[in-house]
């Protein structure tokens, strides 16, 4: 069966659903494909977002599980740096229930007019006469989608990228190997996100506690696979031995790869735009990718929509998508890549020294930039490191 559309969006995560809604609300015929039988489950994600999420959807207690007032950051010897509520003057972000959040975004795409196909796996793509023929299987039944434009919203493992001839392969050191528990009956400071650094805790990355309620949290970590001698799950089991977790219980296990490479230079090809993790739009320092996924989905609908109107979805005409993404968030990602490359070189003793100096610092804003600025003020030698990275 051959199904004709203006645009096919492959992947109904936040990037794909926002893109699909954008196209649908512009009057285009759009098919939104999701290989799983349900949207948003499971996700490969710690579910933390900044308040920018409100640009895309009104906050709803149905999918806001945690409200975050600040962060507690621990160096290897457990020196604590607090970036508290006095800094941000209120909430700095949320921890989502993506099983509900993702589905809500997909529902909004449906409400705007997108056709949604669940349990529908794209298995290949071929360009014929200026159109893409996307082969797919819906519950095992062969389908073909035909459209001039395809949006690759299929995550870190993106096949759309490869089928379109875009080099999306992640070097091992740029794909954080992550494992996470959803934990309940946890006794802790649930208004804060917690971050733990150290070669023994999470080599090349960090461990986190992201609050999802008074006694519930995402407890996980990411390691850099070329630096870690053991598996992420082994580090997680060890992390879970900490006293803070006494009495708590695991109700979910999840794993995932998070790109920390910085953005793809050219996340587009003839008739193709890549969005979200597929385009490596996750933050190299924090690993956060939800906001940029949605921003890129929105921009893909803008640029893709203009290109469809003009009847020109060539790579040349789509290139402006790359420029807009770079302006909106990509340049910041490149800077954060430098910061990450510098930080992972720091030995535990250095991190402890820095934390000791920052323990009583007054932060002016809640951001990576502010933390780095204060770190450099305390440790001007860091500028040398950054120089090398540049």
Partner 1 sequence: MISIDAERCCECGGCVGVCPFDALYLESSLRVTEDCTDCMLCVKFCPVEALSA
- Footprint of partner 1 on 37-56 (CB under 8 A): 42, 44
**Residue 220, beta-bridge partner list:** 180, 208
State yes or no: residue 276 binds partner 1 (CB under 8 A).
no
Q: Parallel, antiparallel, or unpaired: how do β-strands 93-96 and 149-152 relate?
A: unpaired
Report the residue number, 234 or 314, with the smaller CB distance to partner 1: 234
Find the part of the chain contacting partner 1 (CB under 8 A) among 20-28, 105-113, 207-215, 223-231.
Answer: 223-231
Q: Which residue has the tokens 């929105």?
A: 298
Find the part of the chain contacting partner 1 (CB under 8 A) among 104-112, 247-255, 266-274, 370-378.
Answer: 247-255
State yes or no: residue 256 binds partner 1 (CB under 8 A).
yes
State yes or no: residue 166 binds partner 1 (CB under 8 A).
no
Report the residue number, 256 or 271, with the smaller CB distance to partner 1: 256
Q: How far is the CB of 205 from partner 1 (least distance, A)?
A: 11
Report the residue number, 44 or 216, with the smaller CB distance to partner 1: 44
State yes or no: residue 179 binds partner 1 (CB under 8 A).
yes
3-state secondary structure of 132: strand
Rounded Cα gap, residues 165 and 127, in angstroms: 11
Which residues are CB-contacts of 322 (< 8 A; sequence separation ≥ 6)? 265, 266, 267, 268, 330
- List alpha helices for 158-289, DSSP H: 159-163, 232-239
Of 175, 193, 286, 292, which lies in the binding site for partner 1, with binding defined by CB under 8 A? 175
Rounded Cα gap, residues 202 and 199, in angstroms: 6
b/e sequence 231-263, b meaning 16+ C-beta within 10 Å = ebbebbeebbeeebbeebeeeeebebbbbbbbb
Q: How far is the CB of 157 from partner 1 (least distance, A)?
A: 3
State yes or no: residue 157 binds partner 1 (CB under 8 A).
yes
| Dihedral pair phi/psi, residue 188, rounded to 5° | -165, 180
Q: Parallel, antiparallel, or unpaired: how do β-strands 48-50 and 93-96 relate?
A: antiparallel
Q: How far is the CB of 154 from partner 1 (least distance, A)?
A: 9
- Footprint of partner 1 on 74-103 (CB under 8 A): none
Report the residue number, 51 or 162, with the smaller CB distance to partner 1: 162
Rounded Cα gap, residues 108 and 20, in angstroms: 9
Of 16, 40, 211, 257, which lies in the binding site for partner 1, with binding defined by CB under 8 A? 257
State yes or no: residue 118 binds partner 1 (CB under 8 A).
no
Find the part of the chain contacting partner 1 (CB under 8 A) among 197-205, 257-265, 339-347, 358-366.
Answer: 257-265
User: And the tokens for 132?
Assistant: 């893409």
Report the residue number, 35 or 190, with the smaller CB distance to partner 1: 35
Report the residue number, 199 or 367, with the smaller CB distance to partner 1: 199
Rounded Cα gap, residues 227 and 348, in angstroms: 14
Of 26, 35, 98, 335, which lies in the binding site for partner 1, with binding defined by CB under 8 A? 35
DSSP class per residue in 273-297: EE-GGGGT-S-TTT---HHHHHHHH
b/e sequence 273-307, b meaning 16+ C-beta within 10 Å = bbbbbbbbbbbbbbbbbbbbbbbbbbbbbbbbbbb
Q: How far is the CB of 75 from partner 1 (least distance, A)?
A: 24
Site string for partner 1, 358-377 (x = CB under 8 A): --------------------
DSSP 66: E
State yes or no: residue 233 binds partner 1 (CB under 8 A).
yes
Number of residues that bind partner 1 (CB under 8 A): 32
10 conformational bin, left if phi > 0, alpha if psi -120 to 50, beta if neither: beta
Q: How far is the CB of 135 from partner 1 (least distance, A)?
A: 13
Would you tell me which residues interact with partner 1 (CB under 8 A)? 35, 42, 44, 121, 123, 155-159, 162, 168-172, 175, 177-179, 225-226, 231-233, 253-259
């Amino acid at each position: 069966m051959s199904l004709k559309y203006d645009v096919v969006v492959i992947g109904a995560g936040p990037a794909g659903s926002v893109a699909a809604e954008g196209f649908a609300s512009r009057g285009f015929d759009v098919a939104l494909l999701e290989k799983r039988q349900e949207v948003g489950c499971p996700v490969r994600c710690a579910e933390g977002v900044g308040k920018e999420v409100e640009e895309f959807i009104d906050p709803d207690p149905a999918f806001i599980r945690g409200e975050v007032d600040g962060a507690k950051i621990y160096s290897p010897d457990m020196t604590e740096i607090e970036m508290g509520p006095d800094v941000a003057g209120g909430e700095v972000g949320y921890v989502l229930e993506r099983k509900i959040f993702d589905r809500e975004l997909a529902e909004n795409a449906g409400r705007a007019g997108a056709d949604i196909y669940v349990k529908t796996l794209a298995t290949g793509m071929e360009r014929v006469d200026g159109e893409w023929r996307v082969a797919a299987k819906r519950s095992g039944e062969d389908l073909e989608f035909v459209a001039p434009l395809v949006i690759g919203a299929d995550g870190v493992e993106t096949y759309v990228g490869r089928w379109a001839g875009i080099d999306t392969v992640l070097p091992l050191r740029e794909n954080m190997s992550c494992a996470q528990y959803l934990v309940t009956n946890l006794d802790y400071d649930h208004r804060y996100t917690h971050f733990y650094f150290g070669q023994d805790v999470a080599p090349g990355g960090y461990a986190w506690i992201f609050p999802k309620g008074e006694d519930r949290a995402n407890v996980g970590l990411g390691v850099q696979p070329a630096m870690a001698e053991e598996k992420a799950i082994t580090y997680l089991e060890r992390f879970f031995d900490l006293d803070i977790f006494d009495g708590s219980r695991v109700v979910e296990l999840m794993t995932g790869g998070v790109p920390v490479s910085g953005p793809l230079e050219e996340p587009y090809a003839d008739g193709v735009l890549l969005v979200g993790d597929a385009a490596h739009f996750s933050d190299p320092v924090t690993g956060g990718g939800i906001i940029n996924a949605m921003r890129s989905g929105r921009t893909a609908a803008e640029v893709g929509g203009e290109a469809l109107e003009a009847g020109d979805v060539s790579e040349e005409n789509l290139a402006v998508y790359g420029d807009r993404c770079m302006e909106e968030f990509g340049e910041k990602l490149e800077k954060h890549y430098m910061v990450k490359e510098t930080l992972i070189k720091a030995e535990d003793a250095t991190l402890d020294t820095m934390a000791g100096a920052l323990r009583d610092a007054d932060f002016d804003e809640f951001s990576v930039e502010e933390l780095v600025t204060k770190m450099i003020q305390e440790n001007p030698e860091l500028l040398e490191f950054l120089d090398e990275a540049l």
